[in-house]
Structure 1
Amino acid sequence: MAMGTAWMLAVVVALLLLGGAEAVWLDLPPTGTKCVSEEIQPNVVVLADYALMYESLPNAQPTVAVKVTSPYGNTVHHNENATTGQFAFTTSEAGNYLACFWLDSPEKASGTSLNLDWKIGIAAKDWDTVAKKEKIEGVELELRKLEAAVEAIHHNLLYLKAREAEMRTVSEKTNSRVAWFSILSLGVCIVVSVLQLWHLQGFFQKKKLI
């Protein structure tokens, strides 16, 4: 029973971390940058559409600049002077991918917002194209989606297992270093105490106090 519960919990966590779709609204200030980040594992497809929304004013037609960087600081997408756009890439590094947006036009209109539709993993796959290409529909198409979801969950669990093993190794090394540092500190304290005792004993003997 406990094993079954643990397995179900692992599947739920995997589903939560599995690639999905997320649409967010960002209120862009006249100056400054708004960023969103997502932790993604390697070899995952990312697809995002963004569109600038603002009040229609005669003298205010703002544009936005966007920059998407990988966990190691590599630029995977960069665009300027845009009102709408899209970026798509396959991750090569594991970690937090950061997407930053800012107004780059002279018209710094207040009340400007940006709609970001962020899709990851199987949610970014064009299932309509797959259905037309392979001539599948209905139950068969849903089974194909479930198969892709199961495969993604499996890869995600393997990724989590590898991360857990890596963190455990780092934790064990850290504990070992802390233990050796504690032993070294204790040894230094003992040596210093012995030296202080020897010095005080010699001092008192010279003063003929003992």
Structure 2
Amino acid sequence: MRFDMHSGETKCISEDVKADTLSVGSYSIVDPIKGDPNVTVLFFGLQVTSPHGVSYHYGDKVEKGTFAFTASENGPYSACFWSPLRQPPLTTIVEFDWRSGVEARDWSNVAKKGNIEVIVTPPQFLYVT
């Protein structure tokens, strides 16, 4: 997903996650403004927390990052982004991808281990004259 972050703003996204479930995520600024004299550093912060406030990821003054964890409890996990107050105000576009459970797994390896039906065909012979 993509969303706008305005200077001095905080945005939180919540995901209902079951205990013992894998969650992975990535985030980044889309098309950061390079060379703008009004912007010396373009960054934001992110904290991912459990329903009871346990921090699973913390990034401050970052342009991008990743996180991964196995949930210890059931409930809504939150990813809260913040952007520092700037003058003049600035809008930053953030790209965020958060996957949990089945979506977070690499199922290409699972298919190799047992869910492939083997079809036996008679050998093919090529005659060259």
Q: Does 1:95 align with 2:81?
A: no
Match of 2:102 in 1: 122
Alpha-carbon offset, residue 105 of structure 1: 7.9
Aligned partner letter, 1:58: D
- The 5 A counterparts of 1:40-189 are 40-53=17-30, 54-59=32-37, 60=39, 61-104=41-84, 110-128=90-108, 130=109, 136=112, 140=116
Contact 1:80–1:104 (Cα < 8 Å) also in 2: no
**Separation in structure 1 between the aligned mates of residue 57 and residue 22 of structure 2, nearest angstrom:** 14
Contact 1:55–1:111 (Cα < 8 Å) also in 2: no
Alpha-carbon offset, residue 122 of structure 1: 1.4
**Separation in structure 2 between the aligned mates of residue 40 and residue 65 of structure 1, nearest angstrom:** 22
Instruction: For residues 86-123 of structure 1, give each alpha carbon's deviation from its aligned partner in whole angstroms, at most 9, with x where no partner exists.
Output: 01001111111010011248677622111001111111
- Higher RCO structure, 1 or 2 (CA under 8 Å, sep 6+): 2
Higher strand proportion, which one? 2
Percent of aligned pairs with the same amino acid: 29
**Separation in structure 2 between the aligned mates of residue 25 and residue 108 of structure 1, nearest angstrom:** 23
Match of 2:123 in 1: none
Q: TM-score, normalised by structure 2?
A: 0.75
Segments of 5+ residues of structure 2 without an aligned counterpart are: 118-129
Higher helix proportion, which one? 1
Q: Higher Cα Rg: structure 1 or 2?
A: 1
Alpha-carbon offset, residue 33 of structure 1: 0.4
CA RMSD of aligned residues (A): 2.6
**Separation in structure 2 between the aligned mates of residue 51 and residue 27 of structure 1, nearest angstrom:** 12
Segments of 5+ residues of structure 1 without an aligned counterpart are: 1-23, 142-210
